[in-house]
Structures are given as C-alpha cells and as structure tokens.
Amino acid sequence: MIAESGFDHKLTGYRYNAGNELVEQREFGDDATLAAKLMAQLGGQPVPQKEAAPLSDGLDSQTPLRTTEFKRDILGRLIHTLARDNDKVQETAYQYDLDGKLVRAANRHSITCFDYNGNGQIIGQHQWKVPTKEENARNGLPETDWCDAQYDMLYLPVTESIRYHYDFNGNRTATVLPDGRQINYLYYGSGHLHQISLDDEVISDIERDRLHREIYRTQGKLASRYELDPLGRLKRQIAALNELTQTETAKNAVASAYAVKRSYGYDRTGNLTHSTDQRTGTTHFEYDKLGRITKAGNELFAFDPAHNILSDHNSPTIPDNRLKTYNGNSYYYDHFGNLIHRELADGEVQNYFYDLHDQLVKAEIFKKDGSKETWTYTYDALGRRIGKGRLKDGEVPEGLEEETGSVWDGSHLLQEIQPDGRYTYIYTNPDSYEPLAQVHNRTNEEGESNQQTHYFHCDQIGIPREMTDKDGNLVWFGDYYGWGKLKSETKVTDSAYQPFRLQNQYADRETGLHYNFFRYYEPDVGRFVNQDPIRLEGGENLYAFAPNTNKWLDVLGLNKNLPAPYWPPNRGALGEVRSITLPVGTLVDRYGYSGGTFVSPVGTPYPMRALPPGSNQKPYTIYRVLKPIDNVAASKIMPWFGEIGLGTQYELPKSVKSYIESGHLEEVKIGKC
C-alpha cells in the first residue's frame, strides 16, 4: 500500500525501502479535492522497489502537513523515528540485544531499559526521567543527549526500577516495586493463581471450582463469592465478612448485610440483559441485531450504519465518522481527525493539543465561572503516559501543580505518585486489567509513614462498583451511565480515591476524558477522541470503541475484545483437534481483517462458524494457499454465540497477514476463484 484515503478524505502516503519495509509516512490532512485527485493518479501503481523510491509524481509535488521517518537496522528492526511538521520535531530511539529483544526505548521525556533472563522473560525495567534544558542549566549539567545510551549511566540517576521473578512454568511469582516491597504470587500445582500478597501481608486468597474458575476470594476481612453460569459468565456476586475474621458481635450486626450484592442475566448471544444491585436497583439493557446497545436503563441510543452514535433515530448519518454534536455537546477536529475543541452542554469549553504522534499533550479548560485551567501530559517512548499536571496560574510552564507521575508494569498502571503519597495497584492476576487492591503509602509531617489498603469490587466486565477497607467497611461506591461515564459516586470516607472506569481506563477529572493507554476515550459518546493508530485492523470505524461496554473490552485503546468467559473453551474446537497441512490451491475464507489466525473452508455457512454477533458486518475475504502451510489445527466448530456451529475451522500458527507477506497466501477477488 502506497497511499490511503479515509472516509474523511484524510490522505496518507507511504514510502518503502528495498526490503518493502516502511521508511516514511507522509500525512496530507483531510483535503477532499487533493485526496480524490491523488488517489485517482495512484490507482494500480505497484509498490516502489528501490530504496526510498518516490511514491508518485502526484504525491511528491504536494507538501505534507506532517512527515514521519522510520530508520531501521540491517535486520529491519526500528531503531529511530523522526516526526516533523512546519515548526516541531519529535524523535524516539530504540535498541535491541543480540536476540532481537528491545533493551532501550528513549525520547525527550524518558528513557526505559529492560533486562531479560535466558527464557526471554523481562526480569528488570529501569526508567530515567530526562531533565529539560532549563533543569540541566540550573544544575550545571550539559544538555541531555538522550539518544546516546552511555548518557544514562554517566549523568542520570535511575528514577524507578522494577524487577520480576518467575517459576519453572513461566508464571510470574514476584514483582519487586521501586521501594523494594514485593508483590508475591502463589500458584496451585496446575498453574492457577491461589494467593497474592504484598511482602508478608496477604492481599487475597483465591479458591476455584473443578474447572479452575475463580469462585471465592478474600479481600481483607471480606469474603467475595462468585456464582457462574454454565458458560462461565458471572451470574451472582456477594461480599460479606469472612466467618474466620468475624467476632460474635460483628456476626450479629451484619448477619443480613452485604458490602456487595449483585446479579446478572444474559441473552443467548451473551449480551447483558439486566443487572440488579442492592444500592441502585435493577437496570435493563437492550441491543440491536449487531449487538449495539440501544437502551441502558432510561438512556436510549441510536447509530448510523457506520456505528456512529446519533442523538436520535432522525439524526443524519455521519459520512466522515467525525461526530459533530451529541446531546448538547459539540465537537471539532483538526486535519488529522483529532478532537481539538469540545463545547459541553453545561457551558464548559475545552481545547486539546497533540504532539506529532497524536498524543494529547495539553488541555485548556474554560470553566463556566470564567476561570481557566491548563493541564499538560507527557509520555515515554512506548506511548505510556508518565506524567500530568496543572500549570501554575494557568500559564507558567516552569512549574506544575497537582502533579501526578505514573509507573508502569508493561501496559498496567502499577503506581501513581501524587503529592499525598504513592498509590500501588494490584490486579486480579498479573495478566488481568481488573483492579483488585489499592495500597496507599504516605508520610505525614512528623515523618511517620502510613500504609492503607483499599479493595476494588468490580462487576461482570471489570468496572469498579465499590471499594472497601481492610476491615470490610465500605469507603466508596459509584454508578455509571451506559458508556462508562460515572453517573454518581459516594465517598464514605475522605481518603477514598477511585480513578478507574472501564478496564485499563483512568478518569481524568479535569477533562472528563478517560486515558485508555494509546488513546483517550470520551465516555459521553462511547468513542475515542482520535483515530485508531492501527487503522482498519482495529475496525472499520476508526473512532469506535465497541458495540457496548457490558460485554466488550479495549484495554489498549486499539481494538475491541471479548473477555475470556465469552469465548468458547478449547479455542472453539468441538471434539478432536487434528494437525494438518493446508495444500497448495486450498481456498479458505474469513470475516474480519487479516490480523487473526482463524479461517474456514470457503463457503462455510455463516451460522456454522459460530462467530461473535456482528462479525458478518466485517470484510469478507477469500484466500488461496500458494505454499503448503504446516501445523494447522483443524476441528469442528463448537456451537456458541447463539449460532449452531458444527462447521470446520482452521487455526493457523501465524496470522493471515504474515502468511500473505511470506507468500503462503494470496487474496482472491470474489468471482475469480
């Protein structure tokens, strides 16, 4: 692909080296006339084969709004990026070890280095904060040459270090925090998590059923119990004082009381139809045939064919997918499709500013009372937000108020560093984004340290609904609108602090947006503020989150996924799984983009594929096998998602896209099989 024009006429051109590796991306913005002209000129041209060959005379005669260069080593690994527009330049640098693993990622804000063991597992992460020019001048230091790996050792003290330990089965057994405290994980012989502790303090003991599904956990003096339906979905949950920790007085006082009590119901496709909570009552949900939510309690929703949310069914469709108005809010975008101006129904106005990688770096907030706040945001070379703060007096860049730093464990927020201390987050397991506990460490004016542990109690999709303390007392509870915006919250104690919303979403109270790792989510409309960095691999609408938030997750802000209980067991296989070779000439097909690994024999009826609802709205593609593909897992398809299944599925060892690139598969134009 050498050029791309979206529904919004945003035009992007691509250059490649002799190895067909991307070396330059040129963005021309949303000029509809230019896009139509150049796409007509480019139609049918082959990918350039010589080093950085021109895309075409048409593109080279135009000036892009933004250019990003990608420098690679002899093995094709990305080692440097340089993005620039008319007045800004932004760089990142990467280094690898002899095994090809990333060992250093750096930009002007932060340097991150990684250590590995012999099995290729990360055993250490070290982060340096890169000082600004002004900070170096004040300290008598030379300007930071962060691109040079030697600079880390010579001038910069390590800001934060995290270490990891594993057992012989590859399970993580410990996460060592920057201050030396240790989160420990204890497993059953089968490899399932049994206990989490922080140093010598037990955070949670976990019990499972015979299928190894979690049905019980301790959270301080509370015991949480989970009842699952035959498909593994959460049917009922309660949390009450653990009998082992109760006194007789406490038993009598709370015999009929629960800190948490909820139940759930589902339709045959797995959509949540109702939830009943002891505090908020019963909420009913309705969906259309594509699984898009149309009703959540008293809220009603409508969509156009491209999944853009509309104020009502009579609203016009949105041909460019850029939502302009919704329920009294107004939205404005730049040439790259980033939301830059939002006018709220209550009169507040917000302006947003982005870096050359479309990351939000500044927000101006004009309050209804005439006051103004300006907030800034910084990121490391891996795209993780490492800091935010409010400018003093709204304008002074040298100092920040309400400053928050972040420490990351991969893509999990591990710690927040705030003026009132450090918050550590522990999740239900090392791979989960569902929060389990928050540990707050602070030092008072007398120099005395204090540690306070609060527990999260989440619903069927991992949204925190309550927080309790170690003694089982309720400290916070909240209710949400249909797209994950906090409707109401009650702080039972002043110390309660609950920043999470949908899984891996952090609520920025200053803007109302949710930081969702690679993008920001706007919970009023259930969509992102800018376009998907992975483009169509994340879905056909580049702003969309998911059909609903009761069933779907998007923990990285890239593409929606179903949580584990919604997927069929055994990789969707019914009965025997055979290892076969797909011979040359075999025709297979797939609904969805080429990043997946599952295909079926061409012509398999859609109901026999047992795919998630709405999959038949995704692109349908036929592929021909050009070279034999070995080690393919072939099986019958298990009935699921309300479909009959019983067709045949092939699970490829690698993605369809990788087999196209290696010449094993080719796309077949429909009608030319």
Residues paired with 638 in a beta bridge: none
Q: Which residue has the higher pLDDT, 349 or 537?
A: 349
- Looking at the predicted structure, is the pLDDT value of residue 664 above 80? yes
Is the same domain home to 655 and 528? no
Q: Are residues 468 and 617 in the same domain?
A: no
Q: How many CB atoms lie within 10 A of CB 585?
A: 8
- Tell me, what DSSP letter sits at residue 500? B
What is the rounded distance in angstroms from the CA atom of residue 226 to the CA atom of residue 239?
A: 9
**Is residue 42 very low, low, confident or very high in pLDDT (cuts 50, 70, 90)?**
low
CA distance 421 to 436: 19
Report yes or no on 211 lying in a domain: yes
- In the chain, the number of structural domains is 4
Range 501-508 average pLDDT:
98
**Using 50, 70 and 90 to split pLDDT, how confident is the model at 445?**
confident
pLDDT band at 56 (very low <50, low <70, confident <90, very high): very low
255: pLDDT strictly greater than 60: no
Residue 617 backbone phi and psi in degrees, to 5: -90, -10
483 and 440, same domain (yes or no): yes
HSE-up of residue 176 (Cα within 13 Å, Cβ side): 12
In a domain, 165, yes or no: no
CB 437 within 8 A of CB 469: no
388 and 429 assigned to the same domain = no
> Same structural domain for residues 335 and 389?
yes
β-pairing, 527-528 vs 519-522, is antiparallel
Two tokens, residue 66: 């933004």
Q: How many angstroms separate the CA atoms of 103 and 229, rounded?
A: 44
Q: Note whether residue 89 is domain-resident.
A: yes
Q: What pLDDT does residue 312 have?
A: 80
- For residue range 98-157, list pLDDT tens digits in order: 999 999 999 999 999 999 999 899 999 999 998 877 777 777 777 777 877 766 655 667
For residue 582, tell me if it sits in a domain. Answer: yes
Residue 372 has which token pair?
A: 């103004």
pLDDT digits (tens, 9 = 90+) for 485-503: 999 999 999 989 999 999 9
Question: What average pLDDT does the structure give for the chain?
Answer: 90
- In a shared domain, residues 224 and 81: no
Helix, strand, coil shares, percent, the chain, to 5 = 10, 45, 45
Phi/psi for 379 (5° steps) reads -135, 155
The first and second tokens of residue 466, run together, are 């309550």
| Cα–Cα dist 404/175, whole Å | 22
**Residue-level pLDDT at 466:** 98
Return the pLDDT at 219: 97
pLDDT recorded at residue 60: 73
Give the pTM.
0.86
| pLDDT reading at 193 higher than 50 | yes
Give, as one character, the DSSP assignment of residue 564.
Answer: G
Is residue 199 located within the same domain as residue 328? no
Are 238 and 130 within one domain?
A: no
Alpha-helical (H) ranges within 304-395 are none
Chain-centroid distance of CA 182 in Å reads 26
With 70 as the cut, is the pLDDT of residue 166 above it? Answer: yes
**pLDDT at residue 583 above 90?**
yes
Q: Supply the range of the domain harboring residue 633.
A: 567-668
Question: Picking from 198-207, 434-443, 556-565, which range would have the lowest pLDDT averaged per residue?
Answer: 556-565
- Whether 174 is covered by a domain: the verdict is no
What is the tens place of the pLDDT at every residue in 320-336?
Answer: 999 999 999 999 999 99
Q: Which of 532, 566, 600 is the last residue of a domain?
A: 566
Q: Same structural domain for residues 289 and 232?
A: yes
Same domain, 510 and 396: yes
Hey, what are 358's tokens?
């479309």
Contact 564, 632 (CB under 8 A): no
> Which residue is listed with tokens 């479909």?
643
pLDDT at residue 200, rounded to an integer? 94
Q: Are residues 388 and 430 in the same domain?
A: no
The b/e string for 339-374 (b: 16+ C-beta within 10 A; e otherwise) is bbebbeeeebebebebbbbbbbbebbbeeeeeeebb
Lowest-confidence segment of 281-295, 444-458, 543-557 by average pLDDT = 444-458
pLDDT interval class at 641 (50, 70, 90)? confident
Residue 39: predicted pLDDT: 65
Question: Is 60 within a domain?
Answer: yes
- On whether the CB atoms of residues 503 and 460 are closer than 8 A, the answer is no
Q: Which two tokens stand for residue 337?
A: 């499709």
> How is 655-668 classified by DSSP, letter by letter?
-HHHHHHTTSEEEE
Q: Highest mean pLDDT range out of 30-44, 126-140, 341-355, 594-608?
A: 341-355
In this prediction, residue 50 has a pLDDT band, given cuts at 50, 70 and 90, of very low
Taking the C-alpha atoms of residue 526 and residue 484, their distance in angstroms, rounded to an integer, is 8
Residue 156: count other Cβ atoms within 10 Å of its Cβ.
Answer: 16
314: exposed, middle or buried (C-beta count within 10 Å: 0-12, 13-18, 19+)?
Answer: exposed
In a domain, 166, yes or no: no
Q: Is the pLDDT of residue 243 over 70?
A: no
What pLDDT band is residue 565 in, cutting at 50, 70 and 90?
Answer: confident
- Whether the per-residue pLDDT at 400 is higher than 50: the answer is yes
Containing 117, the helix (H) or strand (E) segment is none
Average pLDDT over residues 61-86: 93
Tokens matching residue 540: 């056909």
State the average pLDDT over residues 264-274: 94
Distances (CA, A) of 614 to 200, 221, 456, 496, 592: 48, 43, 32, 40, 10
> Is 310 within the bounds of a domain?
no
Neighbours of 491 (CB within 10 A): 14
User: Quick one: pLDDT at residue 252?
Assistant: 40
Q: Please give the Cα distance from 351 to 528 (Å, whole number).
A: 16
Which domain-ending residue is among 471, 490, 509? 490
Pairing of strands 22-29, 514-516: unpaired
Task: Give the end of a domain, one of 541, 566, 591.
Answer: 566
State how far the Cα of 356 lies from the Cα of 64, in Å rounded to an integer.
Answer: 13
- 426 and 465 in a single domain? The answer is yes
pLDDT at residue 151 in the model = 63
